[in-house]
Each structure stands twice: as structure tokens, then as C-alpha cells.
């Protein structure tokens, strides 16, 4: 995601989340002022926005802080595709865990996360507003993550945002994603 994407992202976000979505200012801040933020968009062949996600990378944790598919394209497999990208990103950054919160009533998202291996850890009472609702804390751990990759990721953080781990050589480079 770049600043050029923000108008389309804010529009999609508003349609996906309604009143509880992020503002334009929020996205601009994430892109231009937050060294821990990593945001991606998924676009079609005509460069039309289909989905996006935003994460915060803090040492060995990746927090999925926003994630939405255009309502006109929900149920077409894009959410699963993009969540796979989030998981791969976390592995390539050498993260030990991905965490996220989801509204208790959001059964589509909870079901997606569970189907990809996330587990429900705890309830955070009244975490959300507009409307007030509990949040479910979910996580996915990578206990066997590679220590040297973690060390290299830490060394490069906060600038090493686009890391790729070649499983055979344990080599890091900057060409994520590659398919
Ligand atoms: C949640 C969301 C990202 C799912 O994306 P999607 O593209 O519609 O999901 P997919 O078509 O890839 O479906 C993947 C899985 O999600 C689950 N799912 C999707 N829609 C569902 C629904 N309406 N009811 C129950 N489960 C559903 C299923 O487990 C599905 O499993 P499958 O891969 O075996 O079919 C999308 O609905 C969305 O953007 N919602 C609004 C914003 C939001 O809630 N974001 C998450 C905040 S935590």
C-alpha cells in the first residue's frame, strides 16, 4: 500500500466496516509515520483494489490490525488468499506469533481465521465501539521459527519490512511477495 492507494482503501474500509472503520488520517499515519507498520493491497489486473491488510511488526510479533475484502468480492476466496500472505509474511520476518482481535459477532472472519489455524485465546471485554462489543483475541504461533532469521529480522527492523526467506539457504532478500 502506498499513499496513492489511500482513497480507494478508505472507501473499501468504510463499506466493509461501516462506522468503526479507519479514517483517511489513520491510514496516512500508518504509511508515513509508523516504522512498525506493514500494509499491503491486493489489486486486480486493472489495478482496482480488491482487498488490503495492515500489520504491526514488533520484534518477533506480527499484529494483524486491519484486514478487509471489498464487499462486492467477499466469498470469492480473496480473504483466504490474503490471510495466507499474512502468515507467509510473519514467517519470513521470523515472527514467533501472529495476533489479532476480531468482533465476537464476526463469524465469517472468526471462521476464516480458525480454518487457517488461528486459535481463540481470550475475550477482551468491550474492546470495540460503534457498536460496543467484545473482541476475541486470536493467535497463531510458530514455535519452530528459525532463530537466525529472527536475529536478522531484528537487526534490520524497523527498516527491513520486505524480507524474503529462502528456505534452502536461509537467505534474506527484498523481493516479497513472489507468487
Ligand atoms: C472476513 C473477510 C476478510 C473474509 O474474506 P472473504 O474473501 O469473504 O473470505 P473467503 O471467500 O476467502 O473465505 C475464506 C473462509 O472464510 C470463511 N467465511 C467467509 N465468509 C463466510 C461467511 N459468510 N460465513 C461463515 N464463514 C465465512 C470460511 O471459513 C471460508 O472458508 P473456505 O475457504 O473453506 O471457503 C471478509 O468477509 C471481510 O472483509 N469482512 C469485512 C471486514 C472484516 O470483518 N475483516 C476482518 C476483521 S478482524
Domain boundaries, the chain: 3-173
Task: Report the pLDDT value the prediction gives residue 128, as an integer from 0 to 100.
Answer: 94
Q: Per-residue confidence at 178, pLDDT binned at 50, 70, 90?
A: very low
Task: Report the pLDDT value the prediction gives residue 59, as an integer from 0 to 100.
Answer: 87
CATH of domain 3-173: 3.40.630.30
What is the pLDDT of the chain when averaged over all its residues?
Answer: 85
- Looking only at the bridges linking them, the beta strands covering 97-103 and 61-69 are parallel
Task: Report the pLDDT value the prediction gives residue 173, as an integer from 0 to 100.
Answer: 38
How many Å lie between the centroid of ligand 1 and the Cα of residue 67? Answer: 11
Task: Report the pLDDT value the prediction gives residue 144, as an integer from 0 to 100.
Answer: 59
pLDDT more than 90, % of the chain: 74
**CB 126 near ligand 1, within 6 Å:** no
Tell me the HSE value of 127 on the side-chain side, using a 13 A CA sphere: 14
Q: For residue 16, is pLDDT > 90? A: yes
How many Å lie between the centroid of ligand 1 and the Cα of residue 74? Answer: 7
Task: Report the pLDDT value the prediction gives residue 142, as an integer from 0 to 100.
Answer: 85
pLDDT more than 70, % of the chain: 79
Mean pLDDT of 82-106: 94
Mean pLDDT of 51-80: 96
Contacts within 8 Å (CB) and 24+ apart, 110-114:
110/136, 110/138, 112/79, 112/80, 112/83, 113/83, 113/138, 114/138
Q: For residue 153, is pLDDT > 90? A: no
Q: Which residues are the active-site residues?
A: 101, 113
User: How far is it, in rounded angstroms, from Cα 172 to Cα 164?
Assistant: 5
Per 3-state DSSP, the chain is made up of helix, strand and coil in percentages (nearest 5) of 35, 30, 30
How many Å lie between the centroid of ligand 1 and the Cα of residue 75? Answer: 6
Residue with CA nearest ligand 1 atom 31: 112
Amino acid at each position: 500500500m502506498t499513499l496513492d492507494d489511500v482513497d480507494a482503501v478508505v472507501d473499501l474500509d468504510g463499506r466493509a466496516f461501516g462506522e468503526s472503520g479507519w479514517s483517511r488520517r489513520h491510514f496516512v499515519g500508518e504509511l508515513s509515520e509508523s516504522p512498525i507498520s506493514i500494509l499491503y493491497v491486493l489489486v486486480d489486473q486493472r489495478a482496482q483494489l480488491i482487498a488490503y491488510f495492515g500489520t504491526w511488526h514488533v520484534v518477533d510479533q506480527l499484529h494483524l490490525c486491519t484486514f478487509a475484502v471489498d464487499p462486492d468480492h467477499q466469498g470469492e476466496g480473496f480473504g483466504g488468499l490474503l490471510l495466507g500472505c499474512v502468515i507467509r509474511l510473519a514467517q519470513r520476518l521470523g515472527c514467533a506469533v501472529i495476533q489479532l482481535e476480531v468482533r465476537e459477532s464476526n463469524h465469517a472472519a472468526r471462521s476464516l481465521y480458525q480454518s487457517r489455524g488461528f486459535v481463540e485465546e481470550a475475550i477482551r471485554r468491550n474492546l470495540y465501539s460503534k457498536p460496543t462489543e467484545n473482541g476475541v483475541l486470536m493467535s497463531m504461533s510458530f514455535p519452530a521459527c528459525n532463530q537466525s532469521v529472527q536475529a536478522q529480522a531484528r537487526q534490520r527492523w524497523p527498516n527491513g519490512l520486505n524480507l524474503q526467506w529462502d528456505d534452502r539457504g536461509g537467505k534474506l532478500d527484498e523481493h516479497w511477495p513472489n507468487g
